[in-house]
Amino acid sequence: MTTRVLLLGGTAEARELAAALVDRPDTIVVSSLAGRVADPRLPVGEVRIGGFGGPAGLARWLDTHRIDVLVDATHPYAARMRSSAVRAAGETGVPYLRLERPGWTEGPGDRWHRVPDLDAAAELVPRLGRRAFVTTGRQGLAAFLHLTGAHLLVRVVDEPTIPLPENVTVLRDRGPYRVTAERELLTAHRIDVLVSKDSGGTYTMAKLDAARDLGLPVVLVDRPAPVALPATVTEVAAALAWLETAPPRR
């Protein structure tokens, strides 16, 4: 019997899971990417790019393509997609699994300031420094543009589509990053405060290590409030194990 899996991806964990499933003779996996990055890292196997049209559109897609299992491995901050996936899975009776890497943990020497959202992060920045390295993504950049009294070095994958003031320098790059290079970047730009989301994982963790080495404060934006989910795992191996015993579609 063949199991048809829809894998909501865009993360390193999603690509790893797709690679583990694609050659299984009893599994058909389709990876879905939101399409917010112009040149995304594509997983192996079949890929679709773009939205579904909310929970109702996703439910129709699950039915039309006879999906047996829905694995949501989207970014920890993709709260809207996660909500749509849970609702669509519930409406169609498709078993749902959330694969989400753990957040980062503060250690000795870290100077972290946790805040609930981007607006709170922007409010805190001027109290901690005047040259900020902002790594919260292109879509949330507008929250920081009123900080005319500080210089902002913003790292993004794609060029911002909104007008930027003169105090903003754009650095286009994507991980994974190395601690040595991150430390050199912070030093070269005379950064005195780092702004990040609590993305977790190893791809972008080097900036936190570099900030610790340099004694810099970090403004860390917390993840969206957790919601009740049918099933959640934090590692690809656990997701594979869950798929072996996933309940049938109702």
- Residue 24 inside a domain? The answer is yes
Is there a single domain that holds both residue 149 and residue 208?
A: yes
Among 10-14, 67-71, 106-110, the least confident range: 10-14
Is there a single domain that holds both residue 12 and residue 36?
A: yes
Nearest 5 degrees, angle CA 234-CA 236-CA 240?
115
Strand locations in the chain, DSSP E?
3-8, 27-33, 46-49, 69-72, 96-99, 112-115, 131-134, 151-156, 168-172, 193-197, 218-221, 232-233
Q: Which helix (H) or strand (E) holds 80?
A: helix 79-92
Q: What is the mean pLDDT of the segment spanning 197-223?
A: 96
Which pLDDT band, with edges at 50, 70 and 90, does 13 fall under? very high
Please give the pLDDT value at position 127: 97
Q: Which pLDDT tens digit goes with each residue over 23-33? A: 899 999 999 99
Q: Which pLDDT tens digit goes with each residue over 75-99? A: 999 999 999 999 999 999 999 999 9
Which of 100, 85, 80 is CA-nearest to residue 11?
A: 100
Is there a single domain that holds both residue 122 and residue 71?
A: no
Report the SS3 class of residue 60. Answer: helix
Print the domain residue range for 88.
Answer: 3-101+225-244
Is there a single domain that holds both residue 12 and residue 84?
A: yes
Count of domains in the chain?
A: 2
Is there a single domain that holds both residue 213 and residue 194?
A: yes
Q: What CATH number does residue 15 fall under? A: 3.40.50.720
- Residue 8 inside a domain? The answer is yes
Is there a single domain that holds both residue 120 and residue 209?
A: yes
Is there a single domain that holds both residue 206 and residue 117?
A: yes
Is there a single domain that holds both residue 129 and residue 185?
A: yes
Has residue 40 got a pLDDT over 90? no
